[in-house]
């Protein structure tokens, strides 16, 4: 077996283990923290703080690794994973709500900071002349998230959710072992000839203010994306409370989350073919409309079965939406500015996470799940209107990087 094949296999394993760990750490955070006696408001604040901290810390990690090329990305990931393992172990020692909250914020923050580094692994090897597959391992990651959700839902419905940190440790420890296999062959240590990416980034000197003025309609689309994406994060972060409101338990939550993750996979694998048949604008608008439908069905759902049906709609909402965001930036933004464009899109989604986490916890405690979902549906409709208006006004500007 070639070195490249081994690296591809290991990369797929790392993606699977990372998203399994993320499912336990973030997806089941509400289950674990509610069991520890923590209120919905504090849970929402904790998730919001984790997003804020990750948002602030990620650029510093990237800058440090850029300045210290001698540190392999796999080693940086390993150190962060080790920190998660240590913090997870401490959850079995310090069990008061205050300590649980602090350690959960720490663990979730580190977990979120790992996302760009895990993705960068593939591209880091490309710079050394080794091409790793990215899309298939990412699809495997979604499948692993779904499977982990099913298992953890079953486990927490039958056993004490206080054991969840054990799975943080199991998934991340196994991931740590796989990361040790990421070593370049001796004849691949020197980077291949530069492809111009660095120069493109260095050339990108447009200020943020000028960027906003240059791409006004893109900023309108971005505002719509921000509002629409809140609905996705409300349902994801507070799935347990939503399921409980219609008579379900953590087992039903695991099934619901796994349904959403599984139905994403075929769309992600086939998106390049779908995009050749339909225009990007059409797909993007369709995904926004389906987010409204999915959120409304979740709001009106009278039973667990209807929640499952709403989760099936994920394949028409989130799956094309998240892929369209990347393609849209690529086509609507000048290549010299596309790094800023992608950064703005990431910032908008991070802000969605902060707003969704803060508002949801408070609203659940004050007015209940149904009213939260009504407000979310209304917000999503408003976001979709802004979103569609921006796309239609900007449709003549999709002139860059069309392929």
* Chain segment 69-127, per-residue pLDDT in tens: 777 788 889 999 999 999 999 999 998 999 999 999 999 999 988 887 887 776 666 66
Burial class (CB in 10 A: 0-12, 13-18, 19+), 233: buried
Are residues 238 and 375 in contact, defined by beta-carbon separation less than 8 angstroms?
no
pLDDT exceeds cutoff 60 at 25? yes
* Chain segment 148-170, per-residue pLDDT in tens: 999 999 999 899 999 999 999 99
* Chain segment 356-384, per-residue pLDDT in tens: 988 998 899 899 999 999 999 999 999 99
pLDDT of the residue at 140: 85
User: Residue 207: left (phi > 0), alpha (psi -120 to 50), or beta?
Assistant: beta
325: confidence class by pLDDT, cuts 50, 70, 90: confident
User: For residues 403 and 397, what is the distance between their CA atoms, to the nearest angstrom?
Assistant: 15
Q: What are phi and psi of 375, to 5 degrees?
A: -60, -40
Candidates 2.30.33.40, 1.10.287.130, 3.40.50.300, 1.20.1250.20; CATH matching 206-397: 1.20.1250.20
Q: Residue 106: how many CB atoms within 10 A of its CB? A: 18
SS3 48: helix
pLDDT of the residue at 207: 65
pLDDT exceeds cutoff 80 at 273? yes
Tokens describing residue 282? 């059409």
Is the model more confident about 183 or about 210? 210
| pTM of the predicted structure, to 2 decimals | 0.77
Handedness of CA 358, 47, 12, 253 (dihedral sign): negative
Q: Above pLDDT 90, what percent of the chain?
A: 47
Within 31-158, strands assigned E span none
pLDDT of the residue at 104: 95
pLDDT of the residue at 71: 78
Q: What are the residue ranges spanned by the domains of the chain? A: 3-188, 206-397
17: confidence class by pLDDT, cuts 50, 70, 90: very high
pLDDT exceeds cutoff 60 at 400? no
pLDDT exceeds cutoff 50 at 60? yes
User: For residues 85 and 170, what is the distance between their CA atoms, to the nearest angstrom?
Assistant: 9
Residues 6+ apart with CB under 8 A from 399: 331
Q: What are phi and psi of 127, to 5 degrees?
A: -65, -15
* Chain segment 280-295, per-residue pLDDT in tens: 899 999 999 999 999 9
pLDDT of the residue at 200: 44
186: confidence class by pLDDT, cuts 50, 70, 90: low
**Mean of pLDDT over the chain:** 85
Q: Taking every pair of C-alpha atoms in the chain, what is the biggest distance, in angstroms?
A: 63
Question: How many residues comprise the chain?
Answer: 403
Residues 6+ apart with CB under 8 A from 68: none
pLDDT exceeds cutoff 60 at 199? no
Compute CA distances 311 → 232, 290, 299, whole Å: 11, 11, 12
Same fold, 3-188 and 206-397: yes
DSSP character for 402?
A: -
Compute CA distances 25 → 47, 127, 211, 283, 354, whole Å: 11, 32, 36, 32, 17
* Chain segment 214-271, per-residue pLDDT in tens: 888 989 999 999 999 999 999 988 999 999 999 999 889 989 989 998 898 888 778 8
Tokens describing residue 90? 């401490």
Q: Residue 74: how many CB atoms within 10 A of its CB? A: 21
User: For residues 377 and 374, what is the distance between their CA atoms, to the nearest angstrom?
Assistant: 5
Handedness of CA 392, 395, 401, 403 (dihedral sign): positive
User: By C-alpha distance, which of 352, 314, 47, 326 is closest to 223?
Assistant: 352
Query: 3-188, what's its fold?
Result: Growth Hormone; Chain: A; (1.20.1250)
Tokens describing residue 344? 């703005």
């Amino acid at each position: 077996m070639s070195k490249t094949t081994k690296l591809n296999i290991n990369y797929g394993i790392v993606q699977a283990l990372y998203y399994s760990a993320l499912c336990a750490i973030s997806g089941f955070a509400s289950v674990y923290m509610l069991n520890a006696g923590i209120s919905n408001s504090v849970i929402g604040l904790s998730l919001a703080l984790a997003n804020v901290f990750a948002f602030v810390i990620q650029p510093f990690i990237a800058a440090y690794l850029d300045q210290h090329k001698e540190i392999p990305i796999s080693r940086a990931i390993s150190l962060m994973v080790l920190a998660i393992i240590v913090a997870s172990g401490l959850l079995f020692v310090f069990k008061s709500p205050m300590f649980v909250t602090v350690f959960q914020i720490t663990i979730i923050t580190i977990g979120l900071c790992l996302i760009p580094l895990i993705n960068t692994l593939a591209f880091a090897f490309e710079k050394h002349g080794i091409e790793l597959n990215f899309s298939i391992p990412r699809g495997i990651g979604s499948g692993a998230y779904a499977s982990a959700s099913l298992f953890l839902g079953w486990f927490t419905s039958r056993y004490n959710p206080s054991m969840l940190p054990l799975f943080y440790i199991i998934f991340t420890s196994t991931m740590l072992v796989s990361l040790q296999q990421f070593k370049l062959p001796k004849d691949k240590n020197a980077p291949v000839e530069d492809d111009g990416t660095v120069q493109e980034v260095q050339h990108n000197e447009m200020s943020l203010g000028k960027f906003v003025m240059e791409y006004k309609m893109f900023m309108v689309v971005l505002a719509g994306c921000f509002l629409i994406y809140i609905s996705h994060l409300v349902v994801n972060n507070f799935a347990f409370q939503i399921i409980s409101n219609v008579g379900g338990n953590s087992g039903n939550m695991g099934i619901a989350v796994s349904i959403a993750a599984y139905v994403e996979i075929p769309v992600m694998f086939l998106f390049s073919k779908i995009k050749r048949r339909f225009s990007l604008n059409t797909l993007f608008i369709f995904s926004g409309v389906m987010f409204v439908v999915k959120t409304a069905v979740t709001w009106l759902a009278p039973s667990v079965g209807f929640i499952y049906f709403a989760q099936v709609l994920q394949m028409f909402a989130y799956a094309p939406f998240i892929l369209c965001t990347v393609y849209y930036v690529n086509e609507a933004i000048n290549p010299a500015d596309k790094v800023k464009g992608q950064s703005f899109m990431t910032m908008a989604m991070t802000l969605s996470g902060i707003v969704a986490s803060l508002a949801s916890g408070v609203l659940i405690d004050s007015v209940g799940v149904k009213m939260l979902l009504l407000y979310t549906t209304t917000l999503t409709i408003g976001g979709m209107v802004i979103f569609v208006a921006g796309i239609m006004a900007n449709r003549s500007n999709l002139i860059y990087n069309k392929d």
